[in-house]
Amino acid sequence: MSEKGETCRHSKTEKIQMKKDKLKKEPTMQFLLEVVEILTNYVKKTFDRSTKVLDFHHPHQLLEGMEGFNLELSEQPESLEQILVDCRDTLKYGVRTGHPRFFNQLSTGLDIVGLAGEWLTSTANTNMFTYEIAPVFVLMEQLTLKKMREIVGWPDGEGDGIFSPGGAISNMYSVMIARYKFFPEVKTKGMTAAPRLILFTSEHSHYSIKKASAALGLGTENLILLKTDERGRVIPADLEAKVIEAKQKGSVPLFVNATAGTTVYGAFDPINEIADICEKYNIWLHVDGAWGGGLLMSRKHRHKLSGVERANSVTWNPHKMMGVPLQCSAILVRERGLLQGCNSMCAGYLFQPDKQYDVTYDTGDKAIQCGRHVDIFKFWLMWKAKGTVGFEQHIDKCLDLSAYLYNKIKNREGYEMVFDGEPQHTNVCFWYFPPSLRSIPNGEESRERLHKVAPKIKAMMMESGTTMVGYQPQGEKVNFFRMVISNPAATMSDIDFLIEEIERLGQDL
Amino acid sequence: MSEKGETCRHSKTEKIQMKKDKLKKEPTMQFLLEVVEILTNYVKKTFDRSTKVLDFHHPHQLLEGMEGFNLELSEQPESLEQILVDCRDTLKYGVRTGHPRFFNQLSTGLDIVGLAGEWLTSTANTNMFTYEIAPVFVLMEQLTLKKMREIVGWPDGEGDGIFSPGGAISNMYSVMIARYKFFPEVKTKGMTAAPRLILFTSEHSHYSIKKASAALGLGTENLILLKTDERGRVIPADLEAKVIEAKQKGSVPLFVNATAGTTVYGAFDPINEIADICEKYNIWLHVDGAWGGGLLMSRKHRHKLSGVERANSVTWNPHKMMGVPLQCSAILVRERGLLQGCNSMCAGYLFQPDKQYDVTYDTGDKAIQCGRHVDIFKFWLMWKAKGTVGFEQHIDKCLDLSAYLYNKIKNREGYEMVFDGEPQHTNVCFWYFPPSLRSIPNGEESRERLHKVAPKIKAMMMESGTTMVGYQPQGEKVNFFRMVISNPAATMSDIDFLIEEIERLGQDL
């Protein structure tokens, strides 16, 4: 027995050595499976509330190197064993964005089917520009975009669209297409071929509209910011007044962006009233539903985007409210042909007309990109796995949780809501007043001190690693917390935990 | 024994039922591991030359549904079992871009470490815009960009840069930054604040420069195409003549793009001579090294980019010649501050100045995107695993293989090279004349028939699924094959196979 045992089994040291030897060789399936083990352990821990959301270090600390984790690149290869350690350390010093208590961004959570979809996408490692090399993905994109257009409410899902690398680029597309629709000669002659073009968007809208106006040569001064009500929604009368003013100055109002779910307040601009004005003055209406588009999947909440079917284009990021892994953003266009007309350059080496299949399926010439990452598969796969009803349940649940948070703190001592009334989206914006601030009368001193509260609490949260939530100022309002919920793993107990944590960390400030 | 056996073991039917039951439930680690099994089987087959490169179907066939593979999305969820089938089918009807006989694109191959890196990236599921939520990735990007700038040859790797969603967007950045450098007021006032700006690029350059000129409001007519020599390289004298002409017309020459590795011929424009002209006339010099940038890693081949250190900006796509999974493209900028100046909008809700860490590490305001996919990690991990020397070996090997192909066919019966002399990059461009065409004298009939040869052979290749190689016309030249080699799995035997296959499929045309 003893002899047999010795020949069959290896000592622990021997096993480690064998593992080391194996890993010195070419990376193989074995190596990949070792990485998978690291990743599945990470995923399990992500969902475990006793795990920290992050293990915070300052840039200089990580740059100096943490116990064997050296970011520097070198001439000679590292062993695969060290590569595995590097993978572990990369995750260790990162942030668990799927953790049930990570509330810092609009994109949170870690959907297992979506993750599997993304792993398959990386394995397929192809490019969306032609049907030739991405037949299945190109068709999935086409069908999914049609489905999204149906949900927007365009007849028979007609129109066009494309997945782009994020909401900012989707919004940029919308401005480009609007310009092409009204002034197609800009494509060949440049902006000097057009009159002075004016864009309109709310003070509360996403900064990508401003980035687009700069990039596309319109100029940020030709982007007019619209006033909002106390809830952050555009005041339509202000839009009309500014349209008239622009026309009187000899400019051409080109484009209005209505936000469906603003970044900070989660406000929905009144699309129907804005659409009336756009129709009256013949202006392109874009709806930026990067954040709020997901609510279209919910019978209970989709009324907040009422009128979206009147838009000429819509941005909708499934990687936000629908829990799809990053990146997944669609720009939808009501009129067919504009995307192609605006962007096509007919590169002969990529889009040969004499291929054996129907080349209208090639998508590359519609894009401002050439190569384009496959963003569709994970979304398609999640839709298959959840069904439309699954997305609806997820969205309704997140909105219920935010209502729970709102009701919990609206009359709680030490809290003040940034705006009155139940939030339209999952954004709950509030100030926390530490006990020492509660007795100070409103005034400059109080404001100055309150402005520092959220950053201080946030810093402590990050250092203790227990939870993460965003904060920012807005206009005249000093720093406040912006809570958002898009994580399917979050529950009421996590909301309770956040509030306890704010109070624990903030009580002595 | 029999009783024991019955309680311990389950019949095959029972086992299948148990598996089904398990998969009806919530997706778990078990589901993820089942997907991993599908993926690792796929990877193994990808490297197996007896496997087809693709199983071609027309769009209408896939849309009609293939034996249980239904692309349509529905209201209700599918079982996880069906989801696994969907994953298998998605791969089955796709294209194996990592197959040693896939030569169709500039991006080929499937690096196991890169793949592992991408799986980790999807699992971390975070966003590059702030250090706060991507501390490790942000630092990796910073260090890697610095290393790339050192390799370009900028002193101490000084400068700036960012990873973008592909070479087209990187090239678009270069035009934006050039415009900002010389006419910063365009950011606020639009293109009307600038004189007529002219861009220059070669006839053989990538169409993304043209897309950028349209998108950014410069207009494609203000992009001047430069003549090339018979090898597809810019003729510097033509550049200077056209610069002078533009100035005489009162326009302002703003930007010259020199291509390092053109898409079709793999030509390297003479950067030093172009740089002389740019310096003389104070014009921004961009080097589009999306395809050829990788050669900088090779001591043997980097001389082809001689002068690149004089460029103001450089596009370099590790996802092409360096075998990094899609997407991975960098725009490098010599002067620090321009990227930030050009794109920053200082969104208060994202980039709070009062964070507890050094916020200069936040990268979001440099980008035209808001959210930005983590493209760095797979590249960083591959660099760790291969070392600089590993990339060099890969590049040298691919160039050796293309020299092998060139030498094999340059005097072979039935072949004609599109341009004379050994290719500069791995692009080998050639016509194949089926026997029936060899006796026909040069002329219109011969040209017309030759034009149809490559598409026909390509269609047959795809239908038999044995290999894939690109073709296109170029200027007056009728359709020819463009062979490119970037796949580390390719060997001389695969080159031999391609030639045999062209001859097998083409002999009766």
User: Tens digit of pLDDT per residue, chain B (509 long)?
Assistant: 344 444 445 566 666 666 555 555 567 899 999 999 999 999 999 999 999 999 999 999 999 988 889 999 999 999 999 999 999 999 999 999 999 999 999 999 999 999 999 999 999 999 999 999 999 999 999 999 999 999 999 999 999 999 999 999 999 999 999 999 999 999 999 999 999 999 999 999 999 999 999 999 999 999 999 999 999 999 999 999 999 999 999 999 999 999 999 999 999 999 999 999 999 999 999 999 999 999 999 999 999 999 999 999 999 999 999 999 999 999 999 999 999 999 998 766 667 788 989 999 998 889 999 999 999 999 999 999 999 999 999 999 999 999 999 999 999 999 999 999 999 999 999 999 999 999 999 899 999 999 999 999 999 999 999 999 999 999 999 999 999 999 999 999 999 999 999 999 999 99
Contacts of A249 (CB under 8 A, 6+ apart): none
Q: Would you state the structure tokens that stand for residue A256, as one six-digit string?
A: 């209005």
Comparing CA positions, the residue from A431, A402, A427 lying closest to residue A262 is: A427
Confirm or reject CATH 3.40.640.10 for domain B125-383, answering yes or no: yes
> How does strand A313-316 pair with strand A329-333?
antiparallel
Q: Does residue B327 have a cis bond before it (omega within 30 degrees)?
A: yes
| Separation in Å, CA of B310 to nearest CA in chain A | 25
Tell me where in chain B the CATH 3.40.640.10 domain(s) lie. Answer: 125-383
Contacts of A341 (CB under 8 A, 6+ apart): A180, A184
Distance CA B182, CA B477 (A): 39
B85 touches chain A (CB under 8 A): no
Q: Tens-digit pLDDT profile for chain A (509 aa)?
A: 344 444 445 566 666 666 555 555 567 899 999 999 999 999 999 999 999 999 999 999 999 988 889 999 999 999 999 999 999 999 999 999 999 999 999 999 999 999 999 999 999 999 999 999 999 999 999 999 999 999 999 999 999 999 999 999 999 999 999 999 999 999 999 999 999 999 999 999 999 999 999 999 999 999 999 999 999 999 999 999 999 999 999 999 999 999 999 999 999 999 999 999 999 999 999 999 999 999 999 999 999 999 999 999 999 999 999 999 999 999 999 999 999 999 998 766 667 788 989 999 998 899 999 999 999 999 999 999 999 999 999 999 999 999 999 999 999 999 999 999 999 999 999 999 999 999 999 899 999 999 999 999 999 999 999 999 999 999 999 999 999 999 999 999 999 999 999 999 999 99
**Segment 258-297 of chain B within 8 Å of chain A by CB:** 263-264
Q: What is the ipTM of this complex?
A: 0.94
Compute the Cα dihedral for B486, B491, B495, B501 and give only its sign. Answer: negative
DSSP for B339-408? HHHHH----TTTS-TT-SS-GGG--GGGSS-SS----HHHHHHHHHHHHHHHHHHHHHHHHHHHHHHHHH
Comparing CA positions, the residue from A136, A129, A358, A133 lying closest to residue B92 is: A136
Return the pLDDT at A350.
64
B122–A122: do the CB atoms touch at under 8 Å?
yes
The CA distances from residue A429 to A437, A472, B353, B377, in Å, are 19, 10, 19, 34
| Separation in Å, CA of B473 to nearest CA in chain A | 7
Contacts of B103 (CB under 8 A, 6+ apart): B467, B468, B469, B470, B483, B484, B485, B487, B490, B498
Question: CA-nearest residue of chain B to A131?
Answer: B59
Beta bridge partners of A333: A160, A313
Q: Would you state the structure tokens that stand for residue A124, as one six-digit string?
A: 């397929």
A222, A373, A472 member nearest B348 (Cβ): A472
Q: Would you state the structure tokens that stand for residue A135, as one six-digit string?
A: 């037949």
| Separation in Å, CA of A253 to nearest CA in chain B | 15
DSSP for B153-195? T-GGG-SEEEEESSHHHHHHHHHHHHHHHH-TTHHHH-GGGS-
B71 touches chain A (CB under 8 A): yes
Q: Percentages helix, strand, coil for chain B, rounded to the nearest 5?
A: 50, 15, 40
CB distance B409 to B502 below 8 Å: no
Q: Would you state the structure tokens that stand for residue B429, as one six-digit string?
A: 């461009």
A326, A374, A468 member nearest B127 (Cβ): A326
CB distance A95 to A468 below 8 Å: yes
CB distance B403 to B168 below 8 Å: no
Residue type, B350: L
| Separation in Å, CA of A193 to nearest CA in chain B | 9
A interface mutation test: which of B207, B222, B471 has the most A CBs within 10 A? B207
CB distance A186 to A194 below 8 Å: yes
B364 touches chain A (CB under 8 A): no
Q: What angle (nearest 5°) sits at the alpha carbon of residue A192, between those of residues A186 and A194?
A: 60
**Residue B123: its chain A contacts at CB < 8 A?**
39, 42-43, 91, 110, 115
B169–A326: do the CB atoms touch at under 8 Å?
no
Contacts of A506 (CB under 8 A, 6+ apart): A432, A434, A453, A456, A457
Q: Which tens digits make up the pLDDT trace of A80-108?
A: 999 999 999 999 999 999 999 999 999 99
B345–A211: do the CB atoms touch at under 8 Å?
yes
> How does strand A313-316 pair with strand B160-164?
unpaired
**Segment 23-62 of chain B within 8 Å of chain A by CB:** 27-29, 31-33, 35-36, 38-40, 42-44, 56-60, 62
B62, B120, B462 member nearest A139 (Cβ): B62
Q: Which tens digits make up the pLDDT trace of A387-408?
A: 999 999 999 999 999 999 999 9
B90, B326, B368 member nearest A168 (Cβ): B368
Comparing CA positions, the residue from B38, B54, B47, B48 lying closest to residue B110 is: B47
B94–A124: do the CB atoms touch at under 8 Å?
yes
Distance CA B253, CA A499 (A): 59
B471–A389: do the CB atoms touch at under 8 Å?
no
A380 touches chain B (CB under 8 A): yes
Comparing CA positions, the residue from B152, B16, B25, B146 lying closest to residue B77 is: B25
CB distance A116 to B35 below 8 Å: yes
Classify residue A214 as exposed, middle or buried by CB count within 10 Å of its CB (0-12, 13-18, 19+): buried
Distance CA B408, CA B403 (A): 8
- Count chain A–chain B contacts defined by CB atoms under 8 A: 480
